[in-house]
Chain A
């Protein structure tokens, strides 16, 4: 009897192995649109049917990536998937011209062409075209964004002023995170990543389509240990470095732990072939350890609860006219036990856009938005705190835009974008972009681009309404002496995009930018050694540089290499711009190989130069080389995948990086080995 059972077990094993061996293996595990939903093909545009890389962030219209009025790099779902990376800023590090610096385990500064800090308000961040920046401080808090990595369809990184299409603060660039449509990821999905130090990142998802409805529900949990626990954490002083010898850092321990619960959902109801209603809600509950602000820790044991909601109606009047109308809201509640008892910020945005084709040659988009913000910040008991006047506090603003993409001749396309903005508390302002895109051949495989653009940066509410912040009497931020004006930037650009062969593409972009009325801090040291800092519009600055990228891609894999030179200089010596300059030299390499039997190898490399200002290296903004390697294997007939990898192989620890406005910083972990398991069914 036992032998019969054994024999049966052997046969079943043989059967299973044979089935596994003989079953067709999908080439890639990274999610692609569902090929079996034939109704969807008729909903697709020609570009989508041709699987052409298209982007929407350049001018709010779906366009071929080779014919854009501004350079755009696209990080695809496949790039994210095979990198094994679990944070958005770290994947952005491998994109041409993007500066990313990590201040602690969960806090990053991200700036397109530099000018970053934790409050990088010269780069606008969007999620599905909806603002993700916090309008109090002006920048997104990356870790609190309620979005999960494997839900991202692509990230479009626009290099250059994009205010004419998207409004204030898209000065140096724009990052638009676009999530996957429910119908492209039907079924159940689970993923968990764990590294050698015990950090974990888990994501589960369910997406379904029933009749006219489709929906996606995602939930995730992220747990990050502090830098000490991960073998790093050595403290050092920022400016002045001489303080290092006076302070006993041995008593300092890092507290940059982070726990984050995220939920994200989206549902679509296709009322008819012409009308679609979609809505969604997302939430993140974030708890983190200390965060320094000019020598003290207002955000010790910080708790942030961010909710994002939206509802949107898309309507197609006919083949030439489409429109959408949407409302979205952001609701942030934050608690900083050491300083602010409650920080509450509600935003409401109403936005619409009408697209139509005129005389067969003009692709026109017109639209606008109305926004309302209401903030309520309650004081805590600690004297060392950020203080805002006039709570509860509210502001309103709005803008109108017009975009015309005119196909003047078979080879020449002219694109004009213009936008005007009104704001209840700051100056009215305008943005524009005018471009000529010329095809060197009829198929436009080789195109030249010339553009001139203008954008502006609005002073953040915190900057305008801050009444007083002080640190141990040595440093204090004083209220503004006069109304702050907008910072303005003019940009002159040229570029070439070429499809050299079916698989090989090359692009090169150059720019010269002039900033006027740069918003920064004017510092005065008194005779008692106290530094008084006041926000002000301080003179101008100039940025210049170029980026180029060569990419080879086919069904067997991908190889791309890029180099960026991003120069920057201010009119005044040591002018306080409240941001780090860009790293002058940056380079990167991505290699991906789809091997037989469901194996995939991926390598990402990035080099960033030191961040310098007037030949002085800002403390902590060191040069770095980062190399990430992963190898993934499909399992369970392509329904699962196991990945092992290492991030930042070349550096055991990352040197301390002092954020703008901070006095001390500590190392963060570098090399980390990790494993990931994913299942999809």
Chain B
């Protein structure tokens, strides 16, 4: 009764193998999904930070003179935010609509001839019209070049890359114990004619100022 023929054995093995593959797939998918969820959550929070930064930064009048012009958040490089900005469609800041524009990485712009700053390509012009520019990690090797490209256009540059402040970036996200915090280069902000309000500065974990770094790592 308990003896099985070869055909039955094969079926049982195939069945077991199917279960094993199924379990393995679920486990792998589950861990991948968890990783995706974690990353997605991190950038949902960072998107909300960017939205909040706008509230606590004052741009020079020439940048905000047109009251009908929306506040533009630019994202340059491989966009990690996904649809994280969806909720802000109906959430104006300072009485202005907020829009998000995505740009190719600098390498790709260069390849297409748009990266030459002497050129007046529409993409470069569009980047320079942004109020806030988030430089994705995919462009971490081009930080200084991108910052140089926008330095005279009163743009709040933000990234989540080590060494961003030292490359004259203005705000850099850092992760501490899985919590998002940020550091600020006040000198770079002043150079860009941006006024960062004290409510934002007091939350920064590091403040970098010209000559000597007065802030300290927290």
List chain A positions with a Cβ less than 8 A from chain B: 3, 7, 11, 14-15, 18-19, 22-24, 35-36, 38-39, 41-42, 44-47, 49-52, 64, 67, 273, 318-319, 357, 360-361, 407, 410, 441-445, 499, 502-503, 554-555
Contact = CB atoms under 8 A, between A and B. Distances in A.
B52 to A, nearest CB: 5
A48 to B, nearest CB: 9
Which 4 A/B pairs are nearest by Cβ-Cβ distance? Answer: A41-B48, A22-B27, A18-B23, A38-B44
Contact of B200 (A3, A42, A46): A46
B193 to A, nearest CB: 17
B197 A360 contact: yes
Interface string B187-208: 0000000000111111111110
Given A15-B22, A18-B23, A23-B27, 7 more contacts: A11-B19, A42-B47, A49-B180, A361-B198, A442-B207, A502-B177, A555-B177
A42 B207 contact: no
Interface string B45-65: 101110110011000000000
Nearest to B53: A46
Given A407-B198, A442-B207, A319 B94 contact: yes
B214 to A, nearest CB: 5
B176 interface: yes
Contacts of B200: 46
A49 B45 contact: yes
B161 interface: no
B6 interface: no
Contacts of A39: 87
B40 to A, nearest CB: 9
B55 A319 contact: yes
B90 interface: yes
A549 to B, nearest CB: 19
Nearest to A445: B218
A19 B22 CA distance: 10
Contact of A50 (B90, B181, B216): B181
B116 interface: no
A555 B179 CA distance: 11
B14 interface: no
B87 A42 contact: yes
Contact of A444 (B30, B176, B202): B202
B99 interface: no
Contacts of B22: 15
Contacts of A555: 177-178
Contact of B206 (A14, A44, A443): A443
A49 B49 contact: yes
Contacts of B48: 41-42, 44, 49
A112 B179 CA distance: 33
Nearest to A21: B27
A41 B95 CA distance: 20
A50 B30 contact: no
A360 B79 CA distance: 34
B93 interface: yes
B23 A15 contact: yes
Given A3-B2, A15-B23, A50 B180 contact: yes
Interface residues of B, number: 54
Contacts of B86: 38
Interface in B13-30: 15-16, 19, 22-23, 26-27, 30
Contact of A42 (B16, B51, B56, B205): B51
Contacts of A22: 23, 26-27, 30
A45 B207 contact: no
B50 to A, nearest CB: 10
Nearest to B1: A3
7 contacts: A22-B23, A35-B41, A38-B86, A41-B87, A44-B48, A46-B200, A444-B202
A503 to B, nearest CB: 8
Contacts of A14: 19
B203 A47 contact: yes
A46 B207 CA distance: 17
A46 B203 contact: yes
A41 B176 contact: no
Given A360-B197, A442-B207, A502-B218, A42 B23 contact: no
A659 B77 CA distance: 70
Contact of A441 (B1, B49, B216): B216
B91 interface: yes
B34 interface: yes
Contacts of B44: 38, 41
Contact of B87 (A24, A38, A46): A38
B163 interface: no
A499 to B, nearest CB: 7
Given A3-B2, A24-B34, A41-B47, A50 B203 contact: yes
Contacts of B26: 19, 22
A407 B199 CA distance: 9
A273 B91 contact: yes
Contacts of B56: 46
Nearest to B33: A24
A499 B218 contact: yes
Contacts of A46: 49, 52, 56, 199-200, 203
B31 interface: yes
A191 B202 CA distance: 41
B187 to A, nearest CB: 14
Given A38-B44, A442-B214, A49 B52 contact: yes
B203 A319 contact: no
B113 interface: no
B218 to A, nearest CB: 6
B84 interface: yes
A39 B86 CA distance: 9
B100 interface: no
A23 B54 CA distance: 40
Contacts of A7: 12
A446 to B, nearest CB: 10
A67 B203 CA distance: 11
Contacts of B49: 46, 49
A15 to B, nearest CB: 6
Nearest to A407: B198
B109 interface: no
B31 A24 contact: yes
A66 to B, nearest CB: 10
A24 B35 CA distance: 10
A51 B198 CA distance: 19
A42 B48 CA distance: 5
A64 B48 CA distance: 19
Contacts of A361: 198
A45 B45 CA distance: 11
A52 B180 CA distance: 10
B149 interface: no
Given A24-B30, A24-B31, A45 B52 contact: yes
Nearest to A50: B181
A554 B23 contact: no
A318 B87 CA distance: 18
A645 to B, nearest CB: 27
Interface string B167-192: 00000000011111100000000000
Contact of A442 (B51, B95, B215): B215
Contact of A319 (B47, B93, B206): B93
